[in-house]
A and B are shown apart, each in its own frame.
Chain A
Amino acid sequence: MGEAAHRVLGLTDSEFDLIVEKLGREPNRVELAMFSLLWSEHCAYKHSRKLLRRLPTEGERVVMGPGENAGAVSIGEAHAIAFKVESHNHPSAVEPFQGAATGVGGILRDVFALGARPIAILDSLRFGELDSVRSRHLLDGAVRGIGHYGNSIGVPTVGGEIYFEAPYEHNCLVNAMCVGIAKRDEMVRAAAAGVGNAVVLIGASTGRDGIGGASVLASAELGDGDEAKRPTVQIGDPFEESKVLECCLELLGKGLLVSLQDLGAAGLTSSASEMASAGGVGIDIDVARVPLREADMEPFEIMVSESQERMLAVVEPGRVGEVLAVCEKWQTGGAEIGAIADSGLVRVLRDGEVVGEIPVEALVDGCPLYDLEPAEPDGWIYGNRATLGESATPAETLLALLGSPSVASKRWAFEQYDSIVGSRTARRPESADAAVLAIPEADAAIAVSIDGNGRRVACDPYAGTVEAVLECAQNLACAGAEPLGLTNCLNFGNPEKPATAWQLDRSVQGLADACTALGVPVVGGNVSLYNEGPEGPIYPTPVVGMVGELPDPILAAPSAFAAAGDAIALLGPFEPTLAGSELAKLRGELEAGLPQPDVAAVAAACAAVRAAVRAGLLASAHDVSDGGLACALAEAAIGSDLGCSVDLQHLRERGCSPEEALFGEGPGGFVISGAREKLESLAGDGVAVLHLGKVGGETIEIAAGDRSLTVPLGEAENAWRSLAV
């Protein structure tokens, strides 16, 4: 076994040399496999870790920050809301059903590893355009996979977003977010502690799932008929996970665990070494004691297997029997497989004989971190494809936008998800701008949103990322919620390429600046790089998940109009342009550049809407995003089955053309409805309220100079509800 093996496993020559230097010798088969995984981009964040240090992570409500299995913020006197988002992009592109399902499974485990009961799932998905058979296949598989896992385990999927853009054709994105609730004094950290304590593996047996490239290390040749050695796609079993979840929560409730970690990417290798690193201890794992699905697995296979539905626990020796009894009650696996040592080493044994040993520090923190070499690309690098003709009338344009899959209703997808199990869901998908869940334990409620627009980030990575954070804050404001914390998944191309490095650098800076300006800490997140193929990288896609608090779930405003005769107004510093807009995309006119957002002004608008919603002053509140103001008005009308008649004159007085007023995009716009005096009372102190018109009738009538339009409500609804596979 020579040099070639390390390259096949993704390690560079200089990384291999560094390993040899740290060990004082060449690594053996088991050790090489472990290094190749822990030193991979996915686990080590080699190209992003330095950048992520810019993010603000502290705040008085933060209970758990980055570095733990998930982040958490306090709520009420005694509770915490745990949450995190993670990607499962590459597996979903290969096998969308299981890729998406196991993505959900993985993020659920991250949350209950803290001792929090999962109470909600949200998903942010990106595919190529729907005229591609492949993209329809991936969309269908991913939606079924998310539904399968979430529905079966009984955690409601309450929100999400789906976008369709050509740059994602070969690299789809599946980002899964989970929210959970815990009692603050029952939460547990991942750091292993207590030399002499036992290490217990809980859950499913270990097989060859996800071994992938490491199979080059198999000691026997891969023969044509040798099925048993072939690496397999990770298969999720939500029923097993429901048993593991109840088992772990019971163990934590009874104080039987010193620490807990889920097994995800790189399986036992990453869990064991990360737990040991966090605790400043060593760890011994005897692979002969790991319950196996296939009897002839080699030590390296057992250490890198990504079999699902497994957790690693540290337990005081005297309590191992009680722990195994709880596992037995829940009919899930439990096995003592090792111990915490004073060695500072991760030692892999087979039946007591050492088959690999690596200093913890070398494995977890020894990986070199790379600086990016960013260089701004020359203009727009993603191409354009026009699908809407020059001669389209304003009415036809509105219908084309409403029917565009990225803008259209996602009801086809969310009706495949159980959004109500658990009895907390006060606002189901599409009824309000954010999902709203009751938290009676804390006499409060939370609102959750997940947002990101890769195309706009591609136009300007800094401004586009700031906009993503503002979008979340605006959605939460419509629900009357104050942001408590943020999680993010950074989905980018190859960071070794200067243009992508530039996108990543600018995007992280935008995220840091927006979070600092809004006072919202980043409590955790995930990075997925190398999302690109021969045709080029995906749009730079930072996905932001935000959790906010409101005093009473019934306050959250609906997105749709409520009653004929209600006044309609536009609140906020909205200054729309066609830059980066869905209309520019349909016309094939995308180019680099976005206006710089005025974060303070948008924050003031959010505060005004939040206060108004809490005071019951608004009949509806809906933030303006994809497709611009005309689409926001149409969505509010369709949802209420009531038309509207509005005039955009006041908005045009801000200096935008009729077309920009109708279809331009940008942050800071809220469509609100209700009694006219109440709407107008919100103006003042830097917050503008523009009267637009009123609710009623059977058409959507928008006066906008020479671009005025009238569209029958039924036609608008047919266009907006056209997305299905």
Chain B
Amino acid sequence: MVWGVVQFPGSCDERDALHACELAGGEARLIWHESRDLDGVDAVVVPGGFSYGDYLRAGAIARFSPAMEAVAEFAAGGGPVLGICNGFQVLCEADLLPGALLVNDNLRFVCRQVELVDDGDERLSIPAKHGEGRYWAPDEMLDAIEAGGQVAFRYAPGQNPNGSARDIAGVRNEAGNVLGLMPHPEHAVDAMTGSTDGLRIFEALARVGNPA
């Protein structure tokens, strides 16, 4: 199983993502933003951070990078793609996921452990850290996303840190191979630093990318 983690100028959590991928199983490598070659990876992670300094809008410039063109093709072909935080923003800007991420409702950056509920009603404890994590889409789009089973994670009741519509913390595309979430599962893989609930998300992606 080979993971590729895209690295932009200004990415912050790419090394944490590399480590999480390897804990989930396999080998993980960085994909430099200027490279059009994904080097035969089985799954792609677009990590957290402040790619291109969040100039213009978070993720707005990263989506035009050569690496993201390759990721779009990979996704169109059914390849599994995980976007975390800034990565989620990049995937929305690239139209690989529906909706947009806006500034947090209290207008401040927030770093806090939150509880998520997945579509199987399992609870996961994962840290969130972002200034622009409020998920938004027009009501008709939200209705379609929910009806299509594309809501992958919601913040548990009372735990929404940013005012996201319908407490949505993560969504999938219609085909189900692209997943984006604002909280950081790569920071929940080691008991020393917090919970290990994030590993499940990487393991699920590994199953899609490398079916036994």
Contacts and interface: CB of A to CB of B under 8 A. Distances in A.
Nearest to A423: B16
Contacts of A238: 50, 53
B192 interface: yes
Contact of A425 (B55, B112, B191, B193): B193
A239 B50 contact: yes
A106 interface: no
Interface in A153-172: 153-154
B194 A420 contact: yes
Contacts of A243: 9-10
Nearest to A414: B111
Contacts of A152: 10, 12, 50, 53-54
6 contacts: A151-B50, A153-B12, A238-B53, A419-B111, A423-B186, A425-B193
A418 B111 contact: yes
A426 B193 CA distance: 5
Nearest to A436: B192
Contact of B53 (A237, A414, A424, A554): A237
A238 B11 CA distance: 12
B109 A438 contact: no
Interface in A299-349: 330-331
Interface of A: 144, 147-148, 151-154, 237-240, 242-243, 330-331, 414-426, 438, 553-554
A422 B111 contact: no
B110 A416 contact: yes
Interface string B173-212: 0000000000010110011111000000000000000000
A330 B9 contact: yes
A651 B48 CA distance: 51
Contact of B127 (A153, A417, A420): A420
B55 A554 contact: no
B49 A154 contact: yes
Contacts of B191: 554
A237 B50 CA distance: 12
Contacts of B55: 239
B193 A239 contact: no
Contact of B10 (A239, A414, A423): A239
Contacts of B193: 420, 423-426, 438
A423 B109 contact: no
B166 interface: no
A424 B15 CA distance: 12
B10 A147 contact: no
A154 B13 contact: yes
A414 B113 CA distance: 13
A243 B52 CA distance: 10
B108 interface: yes
Given A415-B111, A420-B187, A421-B16, A239 B192 contact: no
Contacts of A147: 108-109
A422 B16 contact: yes
Interface string B14-29: 0110010000000000
Nearest to B34: A329
Nearest to B112: A415
The 4 A-B pairs at the shortest CB distance, nearest first, are namely A239-B53, A154-B12, A152-B50, A423-B16
Contacts of A242: 9-10, 50
B153 to A, nearest CB: 19
A553 B108 contact: no
B57 interface: no
B53 A423 contact: no
Contacts of A418: 12, 109, 111, 129
A151 B109 CA distance: 9
Given A418-B129, A420-B194, A239 B187 contact: no
B192 A554 contact: yes
Nearest to A424: B193
Nearest to A157: B111
Chain A interface helix/strand/loop/mixed: mixed
Contacts of B9: 239, 242-243, 330-331
Contacts of B131: 151
Contacts of A240: 53
Interface of B: 9-13, 15-16, 19, 48-50, 52-55, 108-112, 127, 129, 131, 184, 186-187, 190-194
Q: Which of B10, B11, B127, B193 lies at the interface centre, i.e. has the most chain A CB atoms within 10 A of its CB?
A: B193
B191 to A, nearest CB: 8
Given A330-B9, A421-B16, 17 more contacts: A152-B54, A153-B12, A237-B53, A239-B9, A239-B10, A239-B50, A239-B53, A415-B111, A416-B110, A417-B109, A420-B187, A421-B13, A423-B15, A423-B186, A423-B193, A424-B193, A425-B193
A334 to B, nearest CB: 15
B158 to A, nearest CB: 16
B67 to A, nearest CB: 15
A134 B52 CA distance: 34
A340 to B, nearest CB: 31
A61 B192 CA distance: 27
B104 to A, nearest CB: 10
A684 B193 CA distance: 35
Nearest to B11: A154
Nearest to B191: A554
A588 B127 CA distance: 43
A554 B192 CA distance: 6
Q: Which of A147, A154, A424 lies at the interface centre, i.e. has the most chain B CB atoms within 10 A of its CB?
A: A154
B192 A438 contact: yes
Nearest to A243: B9
B81 to A, nearest CB: 22
A330 B191 CA distance: 35
Contacts of A151: 50, 109, 129, 131
B111 A417 contact: yes
A417 to B, nearest CB: 6
A152 B184 CA distance: 16
A239 B12 contact: no
A243 B50 CA distance: 12
Nearest to B51: A239
Contact of B192 (A153, A414, A422, A426): A426
A424 B16 CA distance: 10
A288 to B, nearest CB: 29
A62 B154 CA distance: 50
A420 B111 contact: yes
Contacts of B108: 144, 147, 416
B28 to A, nearest CB: 14
B53 to A, nearest CB: 3
Contacts of B49: 154
A444 to B, nearest CB: 13
B114 to A, nearest CB: 12
Contacts of A421: 12-13, 16, 48, 129, 187
A422 B129 CA distance: 13
A553 B192 contact: yes
Given A154-B12, A426-B192, A438-B192, A239 B112 contact: no
A416 B13 contact: no
A154 B11 CA distance: 8
Given A154-B13, A239-B53, A423 B111 contact: no
A438 B194 CA distance: 13
Contacts of A422: 15-16
A418 B109 CA distance: 8
Contacts of A144: 108
B44 to A, nearest CB: 20
Nearest to B55: A239
Nearest to A237: B53
A529 to B, nearest CB: 33
A591 to B, nearest CB: 40
A291 B56 CA distance: 25
Q: Which of A243, A414, A422 lies at the interface centre, i.e. has the most chain B CB atoms within 10 A of its CB?
A: A422
A117 to B, nearest CB: 11
Nearest to B113: A428
A553 B193 CA distance: 9
B101 to A, nearest CB: 16
Nearest to A140: B108
Contacts of A239: 9-10, 50, 52-55
